[in-house]
């Protein structure tokens, strides 16, 4: 009898343990997200425009959720290091990537990621975008996109354009516009624009945030933006599309999570991003920097990246010299 009761007691204890584990699992699964600090990985060094916008988003996320969002800068390999770090993280919504167009471009042109980022990361939402702008000295012989294109087409090979090693973007603009200009790459945005101001080169190709202070000071004049429509931060500057160039080119930032993150968490993050980036206060803050506030559904971001991928694949096909050897 004692042995029988012992076996029964053991079964009861085992059952209680199983039931307790099941209840704990259900409780954990139903735990409100987020319930602990979130790490937002930025694939660039601290201090740049990317980092500034990521920290703005992180602060707003913290304020709205009451949970700390910690910025983790992981620069290197043209954003591959940070992106791969997130791709390998646990898919629980607590490690996010402040992603960029490098995730689309790098697998095509290099530096090549060690894992297929398109399959290892799930999109959440757009966050912001920045137009590229062609800038010139105040006394340059052109003032508008139409003037500029007419002038450089009349004198192929005569004019030059600088950039902070934005070779692919400049190549795409040259191809779309059908122009022959000399590209002079510099190591950073500041020396690239200084070269324009000093007369070393005729024009500069840069992101609006990098040039906006020079435009306001009258040291440079914006000639054209590369987006389909004009930018609110430069309302008097025409888009290249207004001069007949079929291009819509910008640098964008988006939120990503490791593949396999629960759909409910992805949707919560997308909704949170929309709530933040649609605020007039945030829109104005970014506009003053020369950037635009954006948001999207996960599906919209995926579709936009797919369309952009086709554009870069075509450039790689047309200009194989731009592709790094694997």
Provide the residue ranges of all domains of the chain, joining segments of one domain with +: 38-130+250-322, 131-243
Specify the higher pLDDT residue, 129 or 12. 129
Q: Are strands 69-73 and 203-207 parallel, antiparallel or unpaired?
A: unpaired
H or E, element range at 273: helix 263-277
pLDDT score, position 8? 47
Domain 131-243: top CATH class:
alpha beta
Please report the sign of the dihedral spanned by the C-alpha atoms of residue 303, residue 306, residue 308, residue 314.
negative
Q: Is the peptide bond before 34 cis (omega within 30 degrees of 0)?
A: yes
Residue 7 pLDDT grade (very low, low, confident, very high; cuts 50, 70, 90):
low
Alpha-carbon distance of 80 to 95, in angstroms, equals 16
Q: What is the dihedral of CA 70, 118, 296, 45, to 10 degrees?
A: 30
What residues does 207 pair with on adjacent strands?
A: 132
The pTM score is 0.86
Three-class secondary structure of residue 170 per DSSP: helix
CA angle 83, 60, 104 (to 5 degrees): 25
Rounded Cα distance between 238 and 147, Å, is: 11
As a CATH number, domain 38-130+250-322 is: 3.40.190.150
C-alpha to C-alpha distance for 6 and 19, rounded to whole angstroms: 20
Q: Is the pLDDT of residue 171 over 70?
A: yes
Q: Which two tokens mark 17?
A: 């343990």
Find tokens 């906006």 and name the residue.
Answer: 212
Place 27 in a pLDDT band, splitting at 50, 70 and 90: very low
Say yes or no: do domains 38-130+250-322 and 131-243 share a fold. Answer: yes
- Relative to beta strand 203-207, strand 160-163 is parallel
Residue 23: is its pLDDT beyond 50? no
Phi-psi region of 268 (alpha: psi -120 to 50; beta: other; left: phi over 0): alpha
pLDDT of residue 19: 46
pLDDT at 77 (0 to 100): 95
Direct distance between the N- and C-terminal alpha carbons of the chain, in angstroms, rounded to an integer? 75
Token digits of residue 97: 């990537």
- Judged by DSSP in three states, 97 sits in strand
Nearest to 74 by CA among 107, 51, 106, 103: 51
CB 96 within 8 A of CB 253: no
DSSP reduced 3-state for 292? strand
Token pair 């010139």: residue: 136
- How far apart CA 30 and CA 169 sit, in angstroms, is 46
SS3 (DSSP) at 216: helix
The pLDDT confidence band at residue 188, using thresholds 50, 70 and 90, is: confident
Query: Cβ(163)–Cβ(186) under 8 Å?
Result: yes
């Amino acid at each position: 009898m004692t042995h029988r009761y012992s076996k029964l007691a053991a079964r009861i204890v085992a059952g209680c343990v199983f039931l307790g584990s099941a209840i704990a699992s259900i409780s954990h699964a139903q735990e409100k997200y987020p319930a602990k600090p979130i790490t937002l990985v930025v694939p660039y060094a601290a201090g740049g425009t990317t980092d500034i916008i990521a920290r703005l988003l992180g602060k707003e996320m913290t304020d709205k959720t009451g949970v700390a969002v910690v910025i983790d800068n992981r620069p290197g390999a043209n954003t591959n290091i940070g992106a791969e770090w997130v791709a390998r993280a646990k898919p629980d919504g607590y490690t996010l990537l402040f992603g960029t167009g490098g995730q689309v471009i790098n697998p095509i042109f290099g530096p090549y990621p060690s894992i297929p980022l398109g399959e290892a990361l799930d999109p959440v939402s757009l966050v912001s975008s920045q137009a590229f702008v062609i800038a010139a000295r105040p006394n340059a012989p052109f003032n508008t996109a139409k003037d500029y294109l007419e002038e450089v087409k009349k004198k192929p090979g005569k004019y030059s354009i600088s950039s902070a090693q934005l070779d692919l973007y400049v190549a795409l603009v040259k191809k779309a516009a059908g122009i022959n200009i000399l590209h002079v790459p510099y190591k950073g945005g500041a020396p690239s624009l200084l070269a324009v101001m000093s007369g070393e080169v005729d024009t500069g190709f840069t992101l609006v945030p990098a040039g906006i202070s020079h435009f306001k000071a009258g040291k440079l004049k914006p000639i054209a933006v590369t987006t389909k429509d004009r930018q609110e931060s430069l309302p008097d500057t025409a888009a290249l599309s207004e001069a007949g160039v079929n291009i819509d080119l910008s640098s964008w930032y988006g939120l990503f999570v490791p593949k396999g993150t629960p759909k409910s968490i992805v949707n919560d993050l997308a909704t949170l991003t929309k709530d933040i980036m649609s605020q007039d206060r945030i829109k104005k803050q970014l506009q003053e920097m020369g950037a635009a506030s954006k948001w999207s559904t996960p599906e919209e971001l995926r579709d936009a990246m797919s369309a952009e991928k086709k554009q870069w694949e075509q450039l790689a096909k047309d200009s194989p010299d731009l592709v790094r050897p694997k």
